[in-house]
Amino acid sequence: MKTDATSNGPKLNRLREIWSRGGVTLGAIVTSPSISVVQVMARSGLDWIIIDLEHGAIDPKDAHSMIAATGGTPLVPLVRVPERDAWHAKAPLDLGAMGICFPMTTAATDARAAVRAVRYPPHGDRFWGPFYAPLRWDMSMRDYLNRADDEVLAIGTIEHIDALQTIADVVNTPGLDVVFIGPGDLATSMGLKGDRDHPSVHDAIGRLEAAVLRSPVVLGGVAPTVDQANAMIQRGYRALVIGFDWSLLQGGISVAIDGIKR
């Protein structure tokens, strides 16, 4: 879905360029309504963050401030919405998010709805109202409107075992950019309550990975350790969540106090 305006300025969404050359991007999920946390993350080497409106204590007002806090940095702000309904994507996009992560992408109909929610007509159902997005990206309203379809990411989350039967149709949906496999929810949907290390979960993830890698969609997932991240990159992952704001903070504190005698 290229527009004539794509050549009028530098790419806003650097993730597309990195993935187009086979590169790997690293990100984190932010669950706390904290501008300060985002300011630190945006200047710590991450490629992107997902501002979590599904499980986090964040409302649209917080999201606006957090997206604005990424300004002047290379970090790309993405937003996870709480439901698959398209109207949940409107405000985050108009506030400057460069992608929307939709939960429970289980069928091709879900993927098509995700794509249409982040694209303007005739390719989608997003309508006018980006009052703050052009300000975040330092461009005119007209330029933003002309370029948004080429820049904004449509992201699906595979987190239910039912998706195993439909994954080929999901990942071959035109316009879908990224798929994240959520191991915790996947395991829970199998009656295993977040046990991502169960052999049945490993088998399901392997089958999902294979289907995504046969498609044009970028494969994303959760890598809580360095060893897991490196192994996942070898398997073809190109977008890795290395932690949450709370887990990275907790881990940093644990490292800082480890070995101190008191």
For each of the domains in the chain, give its residue range(s) and CATH number, in order of start: 4-152+220-256 (3.20.20.60)
Q: Give yes or no for residue 98 having a pLDDT over 50.
A: yes
Residue range 216-232, pLDDT digits in tens: 999 999 999 999 999 99
Q: Is 64 a catalytic residue?
A: no
Sequence-ordered strand ranges (E) for 161-262: 178-181, 218-222, 239-244
pLDDT score at 259: 84
The pTM is what?
A: 0.94
Residue of 55, 64, 88, 160 with catalytic role: 55
CA atoms within 13 A on the CB side of 169: 13
CB atoms inside a 10 Å sphere around CB 119: 19
CA pair distance 121, 155, nearest whole angstrom: 19
Residue range 147-206, pLDDT digits in tens: 999 999 999 999 999 999 999 999 999 999 999 999 999 999 999 998 999 999 999 999
Question: Looking up tokens 């604005």, which residue turns up?
Answer: 68
